Structure formats: C-alpha cells, structure tokens
Structure 1
Amino acid sequence: MTAVLALLVVLAALTGHTWVNATRWLRRPGAGPVEVTEPVAVLLPLRDEADRVTPCLRSLLAQQGVRNLRIVVLDDGSGDGTADVVRAVAGDDPRLTLLTGVAPPPGWLGKPHACWQLATRTDPAVTVLAFVDADVVLTPYAVAAAVTELRAARATLLSPYPRILVRTAADRLVQPLLQWLWLTFLPLRAMERSPRPSLAAAGGQFLLVDQAGYLRAGGHASVADKVLEDIELARAVKRAGGRIALADGSALASCRMYETWPQLRDGYTKSLWASFGHPLAAAVVVTLLLLLWTAPPLVAVGALAAGAPAVAGATLAAYALGVAGRVVSARATGGRAWPDALAHPVSVVVLGWLTLRSYHLRKRRRLSWRGRPVS
C-alpha cells in the first residue's frame, strides 16, 4: 500500500504540473486582426507533397496583417509533380517564389538541408523567418499573430504548436501524447528563462525565428545531421545566447500529420530514438511511464479480484489522475478530451512499442523517411 500511495503522490504532482503549465505558463497568441510592419518570410520545404500541399499554400496566400510578406517554397527533389501544384495554386502572385532544391551533401539529412537552402536563399532584408510544414493550415492572421508573440516574448525562436487533427483510432491514441509529454514534464517558465540548451522544446510544423538570431546560432547548418532538427535548432539558439518560447498555436494553425497508420508508425519510429538518446535512458523512461500510467488500472482489476478494495480504490484514483492530465492537456491545446483520455494507459503502451521499434530498426540501419536514410 505504501508503494501505491507514493504512486498517487507522484501522479498528483505531475498532473498538477500539467495544469500549471496549461493554465498559467503556456503562451496563447490570439487569432484576431493584428498588423506587422517588419519584413517576414514564410518558408515551406516540400518533398512529394502534391496530394496535400494545396490547403497549406492557399492559407499562406490568404495571410493578412503582414505588410511585407514573402513566401518561399522549395521543391526538394519531388517526383510527384509537387512543383506543378505550387505553380497552379500560386498563379502569378508576386509574393511567392518557387525554388528548386539540390540533394543533401554527405553529413546532411533532408529536412535540415531543405530548410537551410530556404533560409540562405531568402532576401537578407527579412527580419523573421517562419518555417511551415506542408500539412499545416494557417488561419488568416496566424503569421502576424505569431510574429507579434515572438516580439512580445523577447524571444529569438517561438514555436506555436498547431492543433493536431485526429481522425482515426491510432491518431487518437498517439498524437495527443506530443502535447501531453511537454506539458507534463517540461517546466515552461523555466525553459524560457534558463540558458541551458538541454531545457528546450520546439515543433517544426510551425516555427518562427529572428533572422539575425538564427544566423548567430548557425541556422540549420548547425543541426545538419539531426533527426529532431526543430528541438536541436532551439538548443543551438540557446547556446548562441538567444531565448526560446513555446506557445499554444491551436487558434492559429491546424495540422493533420499522418493520413494512415503506417505513416504514423513510421513517422514516430524514425525519430523516437533521437528523443531518448541512449537505449538505457529510453528503457528507464518507458518503464517509468508504464508504471505510472499503465499499471494502475491493471493493478486495480487485480486488487478487486483478490479482495483488496483499499488497493483497488487507490490505484483507480491513480488512473483517474492520469486521465485528468490528458484532459487538461487536450483542453489546453485544442485537442479532443473525451473519451480519448480514458485510453491513456493504452496510449503509453503504444508509445513504448514505437520506441522499441525505433531502436530496433536503427540498430539494423533500416530507418528512412521519404526515400532517404535518417540514421
């Protein structure tokens, strides 16, 4: 019973931390009309995105509130006619420039190299770079609002995390863990104030950075071989003396990351090993996650069967705390709370399996993404 009570205390503390992050410390840029006068470049790297880039492009061309807006698109070796789709959607809009990318040289992964080409081939008069992924759709004042928040936070880099759209059971099990993990374990206020590079988080779907600070940090050239180039760029910014900030961007942008279970599975598999580092660290973290959030309902069932109502009640309370944390996270980031939060123990199991698969395939040098190796 002592162990169960200790579990309750830990879960209460973590759920409380989630609540504090979500209600007190998380930045929430508004989606209302706002005007920005400084020159801003929206940078969109594309590789084989012909079937889904149109909504993103249309939302970029519909941006308001930025007086001096440039949209720079890079076709990164697509073989599906992505460039033709860009030309058809953009028409003769003078704000959009379409570039043809070159293959990444040795030592570079595809995404950092595409972003670096975009950043270095953009007008140097631009003061803010806004990186956007092809699966992101922005609201009309999203760029203006995000730039305003970047300056209000006095940050070099701002990551306004989009609302993640979920449609399938796999989506609902896995995708909400992205926001839940950083709201539960990352002290947002300390992250913004601390110069420690290890205390950093960012999402590459929608990411803004001050141009001068980006170059001081070495830009994407400093993270050329990193799978999690977004987080590593945030760390590079901190190492160069800059500040970073995380925000709830659910009012500014939405993102449907993966269309199918194989895409979702492979997308997480390619990068989870980089999230944890050493396999031993991954094993410890996954074990703790399972003990804290998956074991309680199982123990409760066993305790009821064994005639131990006190233990069953305490472990059910632990399960309820875990569900509460997921609900708080979902409501803070525009996600779906019910009934998805009830399956949180299953979500943690799936995360553990994806992590194991990530290390297994990396050991066998079989990790790839969009036809390119990632490790």
Structure 2
Amino acid sequence: MIAWLALAALVLAALPACLGAVNLIAMRSPAIRRLPDGTLVSILIPARNEEGNIGAAVEAALRSTGVAVEVVVMDDGSTDSTPAIVAELAARDPRVRLEGAPPLPEGWTGKVHACFRLAQAARGTHLLFVDADVRLEPGAAAALVSHAVAAGTPLVSAVPRQIMRSPGELLTVPSINLLMLGYLPVPLMRTRPDPSLGAACGQMLLAEREAYAAVGGHEAIRTRIHDGLQLARVFRESGRRTDVVAGARLATCRMYRGFGEAWAGFAKNAHEAMATPRALPVWTVLLFGGHVLPLPLVIASGGTSVPAWAALALSLGLRAAVTLATRENPWSIPLHPATVLTGLAIQWTALARNRRGRPAGWKGRLYPAG
C-alpha cells in the first residue's frame, strides 16, 4: 500500500513541479517602456477603517515614476481616522483625492462597490486598483501599463511580495503563489481565451479604462467577493485578453496579522474559487497527495521509499523555487506541508459553512452564502 501511495504522491508532486518550472520562466517582471502621450494611471484605493495603512499606501503611490498618476481613495464608511489622513495628504498634493462611497446598495459586496465608485471618479486612461495594505514601488504603475500597452492586454495583474511575520501568516499566505505558479498554466493562459484560465490578484490589478467600461467593470461582478478572479473572467468572457506578471519587485503587501485574521480573510471568498462541491475534492487530491502525503510516507516507510523521497523533494523544491522567485519568507519552505494542510482546512470549513447557509463576514459586513 505504501509503495502505491508513494508512486501516486510522486505523480501528484511532479505535475506542479514541472508546471512551476515553466511558469517561473514565463512570468517575469515587466519592463518600463515609452508610453503614448496623455497616458495617466489612476491609482485607486478602496479603504474601510484603514488608518494603520492608508497613509503609507498613498505616499508610496505618489512616489510613482515613469508615468503620470493620480491617487483616488474611496472612503467606504470608515469609523476611524482614515478620511482625515487622506484629507491631510490631499491638502498637500493635488494629485490626491478623497471620495466618499454612498451607502452599500442591496446585492453589492463592499469592496466591489467601492472599486466601482472609484472607477467612476477616476480620470486616467488606465485604472490601477490596489488594496490599502499594498506599497507600490516607484516603477510599478509604469511597468504594468507598459506591459498592458505593449502586449495589447487590457487587464494585467500581479501578486505583490507577501510580507509574513507571524506563524499564522506563514501557515496561510504562501498558498497564493503556490497555486498561481504551481497550478495555473501561464503559457496556455496567454494563448487561449478560455474564462476558466482567467486569474488575477485583487491586491494589484490594472485595467485599460475603455475595455473596463465595455465589459461592465465591477458592476458586472457586484455580487462577488473574489474581485480579481471574477473580473479576469468577465474580461475573458468578452473576448479580451488578461495576463499575470511577476509582482515581487513591483509592490509589497502584508495582508494579515495573525492566524485568526488570515483564516477569516481566506475563508470569506473561498466558495468563489476552490471551495465548491465539485472542485474541492479534486483540489484535495492534488494538494494533499502532492504536498502533504509525501512526508508521512517517508516516515511510514522508515525512510526506504525512493518514490516518497522523490515526491517530498519535488514538493519542497517547488516551494523553495517559488519562495526564492517571489522573495517570500524562507520559513515557508519547511512549513510547506503544514501550510497546504491549513489551506485545505480553510477550504473545507468554508464549504461546510456555505452549505449550511451561514454568511461570510468581513470588515463588519455579512454576505449571503454563495
């Protein structure tokens, strides 16, 4: 039995390892190119009770070089000092504007509604949506719009370098780049228009304004929570291309602080991606078999199973390569099997919650089960 399980684990570990090697070559940080006259990037930041983040986010955006920018913050019903901080920055720099989101309409999710209002307020030729916990590097906006223009791709996204400092973050956040680089066929995504191949990171997403308006923008996904993924699929459904580029040198982001916050954050939109009755059993086989099972099999075999050792080496090798390329915390490598197991636990818990009709909550709002 151990021998057969070890062979299965080896196959399941080899698949993402091979795809990851291809993707790491294909996904590069975009270069800054000469842009058409009149190009203006609107850096759009939805903010709800972000007093600890918003000042640094706006200041980082204002340091953008290589392209003209404006920075628009949508205060989404904050009860802290978020609007006051932005108002002070706007008084010092005319490129900053503070807008206030109207009450959340029925049937909309909060961040999606704020992004929709931001797009309405923007003046730019390109819309760069970033979360309040993202810190853009000076060349990020220019690099993303350069790639969009040069490649003829109206939607370009990137995963910022993820900052992880607590054990809880290390057990959850590394799953983002593992799934993106180990399981998304990037070369196929760039050549085929299938909506199922659409992928994007809502932390940092650039859209060409006219294309965004033509597909309906965030209004087309108003009931959704996973805005990056859903917007990419809307673009593809209309026949437009989307792309994902390497983002570790474009921005940084510390998503969560601690295990509880990370669990809630990943669980809130799980049902729109992996946590569905059809998809999750398949993902469980792929992830558990390829990344969790090899270590127990090595132990159970007394260290004599060559396929189990090979599966473990491929799994940890992929994690090490992804960690190096994305400049993540190196502790994500030895914790990799536990991280994958934690991710699956979040997904199964979210699926059970959804099937019981329990709502998902975030930032003081509750959303119906998907």
Specify which of 314, 323, 327 is matched with residue 330 of structure 1.
323
Q: Determine if contact 1:29/1:146 at 8 Å carries over to the other structure.
A: yes
How far off is 1:201 after superposition?
0.6
Equivalent residues in 2 for 1:348-367, closer than 5 Å: 348-362=340-354, 363-367=356-360
Report how many aligned residue pairs link the two structures.
Answer: 364
Q: Determine if contact 1:63/1:143 at 8 Å carries over to the other structure.
A: yes
SS in 1 for 2:293: helix
Give the aligned partner of residue 46 of structure 2: 45
Give the aligned partner of residue 30 of structure 2: 29
How far off is 1:9 after superposition?
3.4
Counterparts of 2:34 and 2:173 in 1: how far apart (Å)?
31
Counterparts of 1:310 and 1:260 in 2: how far apart (Å)?
38
Counterparts of 2:24 and 2:51 in 1: how far apart (Å)?
36
How far off is 1:353 after superposition?
1.1
Counterparts of 1:122 and 1:343 in 2: how far apart (Å)?
42
Counterparts of 2:11 and 2:349 in 1: how far apart (Å)?
32
Give the aligned partner of residue 340 of structure 1: 332
Give the aligned partner of residue 63 of structure 1: 64
SS in 2 for 1:267: helix
TM-score of the two chains, using structure 2 as the length reference: 0.93
Deviates more, 1:109-118 or 1:276-285: 276-285
Q: Determine if contact 1:61/1:90 at 8 Å carries over to the other structure.
A: no
Give the aligned partner of residue 234 of structure 1: 232
**CA 1:339–1:83: 2 relative to 1, 3 Å:** closer
Give the aligned partner of residue 14 of structure 2: 12
Equivalent residues in 2 for 1:111-260, closer than 5 Å: 111-123=111-123, 126-260=124-258
Deviates more, 1:285-294 or 1:249-258: 285-294
Name the amino acid aligned to 2:155. Answer: L
Give the aligned partner of residue 279 of structure 2: 281
Equivalent residues in 2 for 1:64-103, closer than 5 Å: 64-67=65-68, 69-103=69-103
Identical pairs, percent: 32
Which stretches in structure 1 are left out of the alignment for 5+ residues?
none
Aligned CA RMSD, in angstroms, stands at 1.8
Give the aligned partner of residue 313 of structure 2: 320
Q: Determine if contact 1:36/1:148 at 8 Å carries over to the other structure.
A: no
Q: Determine if contact 1:27/1:246 at 8 Å carries over to the other structure.
A: no
Give the aligned partner of residue 110 of structure 2: 110
How far off is 1:248 after superposition?
0.8
**CA 1:318–1:264: 2 relative to 1, 3 Å:** same
Q: Which runs of 4+ in 1 moved over 6 A?
A: 32-36
How far off is 1:153 after superposition?
2.0
Counterparts of 1:36 and 1:358 in 2: how far apart (Å)?
45
Counterparts of 2:250 and 2:180 in 1: how far apart (Å)?
19
Counterparts of 1:129 and 1:50 in 2: how far apart (Å)?
23
SS in 1 for 2:52: coil
Name the amino acid aligned to 1:77. Answer: G
TM-score of the two chains, using structure 1 as the length reference: 0.92
Counterparts of 2:36 and 2:133 in 1: how far apart (Å)?
25
Which stretches in structure 2 are left out of the alignment for 5+ residues?
none
SS in 2 for 1:315: helix
